[in-house]
Every structure is written in structure tokens, then in C-alpha cells.
Structure 1
Amino acid sequence: MRLCIFFVLLSIVLYASADNPFSRGFKFMKDAAGGTQDMWRAYRDMRDANYIGADKYFHARGNYDAARRGPGGAWAAKAISDARELWQSGISGRGAEDTRLDQEANEWGRRGGDPNRYRPAGLPKKY
């Protein structure tokens, strides 16, 4: 009986690690969850830094980190960025130009561009 359970578990592990739709779907979900964590970390760091002019840097960094995980991370980064900009554009009063610049930084990061392009002088190195 134990040998049978062992083979069933081994089969599941081998199936999940093989190149098949199930394992690709699982990886996508795992990457999306990790990408969500990356975006949350960038947002939390942005709030913690509270540094004038650093907004675009944190946008680019969150998207960059998330997209490096793979298609699931890039999907999560785009979904979160788009939702944030849609929400923010309605309440911030900063206007369409700020939203456009935020989205430019988001896309730059998702495409693998170095987030430091947007890093303001004097931002503490811990970020």
C-alpha cells in the first residue's frame, strides 16, 4: 500500500514538473502570485521612502521585478498597474499627463528596462 502511494505521489511530481499544460498553468499562477508580491513590495517601499520624485522609479522597479518572473509576473504587473492608474487618475487630480508618465515607467520596467533610469538623486540606497 505504501509503495502504491509513493508511486502515485511520484507520478504527480513528475507530471507537474514536465512540460505540459498543467505545469505551465501552475507556473503562470506561481509567477503571478510572486509578481503581485513584487508590486506590493515596491508600493510599500515607495510609501516608506516618502521621497519626492521617486514615484516613477518605484513604478518601474515593481514592474521590472514582477516581469522577471515570467509571463505570469508580467501579467500581474500589468493588471495591477492598469488598475492603480485607473483608480488614481480618478482621485489624484494629477491629470492625464501624470498617468501617461506612470504608465511609461510601468512599461519600461515590464520590458526589462533598468528602473534606475527613473531613480531620483538622493534616494536612499536601501531602495
Structure 2
Amino acid sequence: MYRYTYVCVCVHMKDRSHSPHVENQTKQKPNSSPFHVSPGLCSRMKLLVGILLCSLVLGVSSQRWLTFLKEAGQGTRDMWRAYSDMREANYKNSDKYFHARGNYDAAQRGPGGAWAAKVISDAREKSQRITDLFKFGDSGHGVEDSKADQAANEWGRSGKDPNHFRPAGLPDKY
């Protein structure tokens, strides 16, 4: 009989030391590996390792990681609300305001919200650059526009008033 012992994130190692016939089982087949990958374990462990790494890398104490995740979720919702409002308003030259507002609202949630705002903003700008390559510049989102968007994102995340970017005539609803 073999007993499995967790060695790493999602790899098992066959532990033969607890078997009554250790001498007879120490020989392995020439090309066999003592490691076995468990797919079910991998998916759960990846999530847990991801949370752990976020906690360690971002300096989140073990007592605050749930708070951090809650703030990140709320910040994501704030970013989505700003994006939805921007699409609904469909108002010329208002995108910088909505970028700043979404980042501002998310950052007000705390470190988790600020982290979510940065990740979402960076991902959006990077994906926009990729789609611009396929549109051959027709979208009007060049490098200058991307830099201006990132400046508005940083403005909002730093806690500065997003109304600095508010265009004249934008309805008060926003």
C-alpha cells in the first residue's frame, strides 16, 4: 500500500516508508516517476496559493486578508459602475472623468480597492493597445490617449477629486 504525502502545490510524492515491505518496494521501473499530479487538488491549491501570494506580496497581514478581498470586490464593483455610467452617458470627452471617478471610488474602499482599480485599469489599457493593432488606428485610442487615461486613473487612485476631469454639460446624474 502507498500513502500519499503532499509535497508541493499540486504534486504528490509516493511515500513508501510506511509500508511493511520497504525493501521490496524501493526498486522503481526505469522510467517511472515518484510524482503524481492530481487535477482536482491543483485547482483548489492554485486559488489558495494565489490568495497567499497576494497576502505576502502586498503585505497584507493574515488578519486582514478577508478585508482586503472584500475591498477588492467592492472596488471592482465601483469600477464596473463607472464603466456602465460612461457607456450610458455616451458623452463626448467624458472618458477621463469616468476613469478618475472609478479609480477614486475604488481606492476609497481601502488597499484592496486601490489594488483592484490598478489591476483593472492596467488590464483595460493593455487590452486596448492590442485591439488597436487589429483596428489599424481607427479607434482613436493611440498611445497619447492611453497615457492620458492612465494619468486620470492615477489621479483618482491618489484620492484627488475626479471632477477635475468632468466635462462641461455632463448631466448631474453622473
TM-score range, shorter chain: 0.7 to 0.9
Q: What is the aligned counterpart of 1:102 among 149, 153, 167?
A: 149
Instruction: Provide the secondary structure at the position in 2 that maps to 1:23.
Output: coil
Please state which structure has a larger fraction of its residues in helix.
1
Q: Distance in 2 between matches of 1:59 and 1:89?
A: 17
Deviation at 1:90, TM superposition (A): 2.2
User: In the alignment, does 2:145 pair up with 1:111?
Assistant: no
- Deviations 1:31-84 (CA, angstroms, capped at 9, x unpaired): 000000000000000000000100000000000000000000000000000000
SS at match of 2:172: coil
Distance 1:95 1:45 in 2: 23
For residue 89 of structure 1, report the CA deviation from its aligned partner.
1.9
1:23 Cα offset (Å)? 3.3
**C-alpha distance in 1, partners of 2:172/2:129?**
30
1:87-119 superposed Cα distances (whole Å, 9 cap, x missing partner): 112224321100000000000000001000000
Give the partner amino acid of 1:122.
Answer: G
Please give the root-mean-square deviation of Cα atoms over the aligned residues, in Å. 1.3
Query: Which residue type is aligned with residue 118 of structure 1?
Result: F
Paired with 2:112 and 2:150, the residues of 1 have a C-alpha distance of: 19
Q: Which runs of 5+ in 2 are unaligned?
A: 1-59
Aligned with 2:97 (options 46, 57, 62): 57
Which has the higher relative contact order, 1 or 2, with Cα contacts under 8 A spaced 6 or more apart? 1
* 2:121 corresponding residue in structure 1: 81
TM-score by length of 1: 0.82
Q: Which residue of 2 aligns with 1:126?
A: 173
Give unpaired runs (5+ residues) of structure 1: 1-19
**One of 106, 117, 142 as aligned partner of 1:66:** 106
2:130 aligns to what?
A: 90
Moved over 3 A (4+): 20-23
Report the identity percentage. Answer: 67
Instruction: Please state how far the C-alpha of 1:126 moved relative to its aligned partner.
Output: 0.4
Aligned residues: 108
1: distance between equivalents of 2:61 and 2:142?
43
